[in-house]
Amino acid sequence: MSSNATQLSKFLSFVLRHEPHSIGLVLDQQGWAPIEEVIAKGNAAGTPFSRADLLDVVATSDKKRFSLSDDGQRIRAAQGHSAVVDLGLSPREPPGVLYHGTATRFVDAILLEGLKPQARQQVHLSVDPATAHRVGQRHGKPAIFKVEAAHMHSKGFAFFIADNGVWLTDRVPSEFLVLSSPSE
């Protein structure tokens, strides 16, 4: 992704996940916004881009952060919202184990309190330790937790899968967490 595309991706993540009001944008209840409105308000706010630029970012994002509506007229962030939205995802049965990447400085608190969504609406989980490791590296020296997702699910916890494959749940109590060793 070029530096311009990276900057546009960061801008879209900011307005579609966290602060749509910063450019005068209003998301619907499911987090959707009309593409033409996102472009017009982004341009007016000093971030110039075209529909082609936006579609290129959606198509080339390695993390698949954005979803387009079936008619191609609306866009939303796939997950990661701090703005209140209902993605309309149906509960799904998770794989037996999922993973969560974090920084080592948070390990003690997580072991004590479990995983909480913090500034986001839900906890994000990965299907493989490599992805969790990459996520953890963004925050410092990485630590990886195994999440006993099937056990949680059997106890009534709901899991959802975002459009980009990230698993979501409201929280993960510490009893369902195992700190992974580096070789796993």
Q: What angle do CA 39, 40, 44 make, to 5 degrees?
A: 115
* Judgement on whether residues 72 and 107 belong to the same structural domain of the protein: no
Which residues, other chains included, contact 141 with Cβ-Cβ below 8 Å and sequence gap of 6+?
A: 103, 104, 105
Within this chain, do residues 69 and 123 fall inside the same structural domain, yes or no?
Answer: no
- Res 181 pLDDT > 90: no
pLDDT of 183 reads 47
- Any idea what the CATH number is for the domain that residue 113 is in? 3.20.170.30
Note whether residue 121 is domain-resident.
yes
Which residues, at least 6 apart from 47, have a Cβ–Cβ distance to it below 8 Å?
Answer: 7, 8, 11
Do residues 114 and 42 share a domain?
no
pLDDT in tens, 30-88: 889 999 999 999 999 999 999 999 999 999 887 788 999 999 999 998 877 777 777 78
Domain of residue 114 covers 98-179
Q: What is the pLDDT of residues 136-176, one digit of tens each?
A: 898 889 999 999 999 999 999 999 998 888 899 999 999 99
- Classify residue 88: in a domain, yes or no: no
Residue that terminates a domain, selected from 45, 77, 109: 77
For 13-23, what is the mean pLDDT? 91
- Determine the pLDDT at residue 2: 60
Domain count for the chain: 2
What's residue 177's pLDDT? 97
Q: Say if 82 falls within a structural domain.
A: no
Question: pLDDT digits over 21-37, tens only?
Answer: 999 999 998 889 999 99
Q: What is the pTM of this model?
A: 0.69
